[in-house]
Chain A
């Protein structure tokens, strides 16, 4: 029987497993995908420093470490229930049930869809699906595609599609609605793109991202924003166009697009159909928390971290004895931060297991500080309010469970 079961073999899960195994704990890692690495497997972008962040290499490095430490990484395993009996956590999977004193849930995130009429047609996929098909499976997702939704993830993956020689005809916004919310308002989109200025070098540098911080100037800029859009390494970003419908009989054949005003209102009679054989919907990410929910973990609504998330301390510990969380399940951030959080969770498990009395407190505190450090220098910020969100969760924890984190059940 293992001491620790890690659910999710992404950056957070693998880092957590490695931290535990380095202190001699017996660890099993479970993941549904057929290869470990999680969202790392699709990541490939150029950092401000000019070198490339290659997620696949990163995943291979972590995987090698798990081999060196004899960590049992099992892929193709789906966890369907997590329940505690008197002492041990019971993890129920499609490959049988297993028990352990400690469980680290690192199931990451899922993508927000933005429904568009016709979006159930084959050929319509989330932008993450196109990323995985391109970088992991090395299969072209189509000849000519259109991306609906302009956000950081969309730009990062756009570059990856272009690198793979896949033509992305244009990026347009979704139609403004209670579902798409800010994603359908050109001004809001432009404001959110400011934190990705370095990622879309050609376009926004010409606008001068500092210059655009002022709301009024943004409005003026949008009024003069060319209908044909500004090119991002060849693909026009059309902030004044919205996708009304995805057309096609048996699969995607095109997208009906209309002009929109700076605040997202559609201009009647301005619709055109642009040909495409695939469509990517980029709605952003939200934490995938279902396993901690069935385990009975208390939740808290923190909008900056992605909504309802499991309550946890800076040591990545939840109020349930032996249950830990790390990575995008605690709030949407980049892969490096997920790894740093995984290490904190691993060291916190080592501390709770009483394995390494001496140096563990110092190492644990260092790893917590490291998370903050990585966050400061993160090239991508998925949500501008993430620091505030982390602070809210920390204060909630201290107020409810005290600094050390007394555990309730």
Chain B
């Protein structure tokens, strides 16, 4: 998806410094003051995590920090909301993974 550099009413976006960050091992380009969710979307990435139980892909839903769907791991810190967190230079972001369910396997076993 492209970035809206110009806007008929909101006008031109001010010059912003480009920065780079990592998502699931790949390098991406973002701009200063952009959230992780916005930067990834601008790079065509919608899936931010897999549901911990079912493994189904999930992306942003509310984009203002209410629904917790956009949680990713940032520099080792899990469950950070991508829609509220600003990208920093060299940030290492990982998508949320499906979890093994030890207790359930115990019950089935």
Binding site for B on A (CB under 8 A): 32-34, 44, 52, 54, 56, 76, 78, 110-111, 113, 120-126, 128-130, 132-135, 137-143, 163-165, 250-251, 288
CB nearest to B42 among chain A residues:
A139
Residues in chain A near residue B2, CB distance under 8 A: 139-140
Partner of B63, one of A56, A113, A128, A251: A128
Partner of A139, one of B4, B47, B62, B66: B4
- Whether A138 touches B56, Cβ cut-off 8 Å, given contacts A125-B61, A128-B64, A129-B64, is no
Chain B interface size band reads: 35 or more
State the main secondary structure of chain B at its contact with A.
loop
Q: How many A-B residue pairs have CB under 8 A?
A: 105
Partner of A34, one of B3, B9, B58, B86: B86
Residues in chain A near residue B35, CB distance under 8 A: 34, 137
Binding site for A on B (CB under 8 A): 1-5, 7-10, 13, 33-35, 37-38, 41-42, 46-48, 51, 56-66, 83-86
Q: Is there contact, CB below 8 Å, between A128 and B62?
A: yes
Q: Is there contact, CB below 8 Å, between A33 and B65?
A: yes
| Smallest CB-CB A-B distances: 7 pairs | A122-B59, A129-B63, A137-B38, A122-B46, A140-B1, A138-B4, A139-B42
Q: Is there contact, CB below 8 Å, between B7 and A164?
A: yes
Residues in chain B near residue A56, CB distance under 8 A: 10
- Whether A111 touches B3, Cβ cut-off 8 Å, given contacts A76-B84, A122-B46, is no
Residues in chain B near residue A250, CB distance under 8 A: 47, 57
Known: A133-B37, A163-B8. 12 other contacts (CB 8 A): A34-B84, A54-B10, A110-B66, A121-B59, A125-B61, A125-B63, A128-B63, A129-B60, A138-B5, A140-B3, A141-B1, A142-B1
Residues in chain B near residue A140, CB distance under 8 A: 1-4, 42
Q: Is there contact, CB below 8 Å, between B38 and A133?
A: yes
Residues in chain A near residue B86, CB distance under 8 A: 34
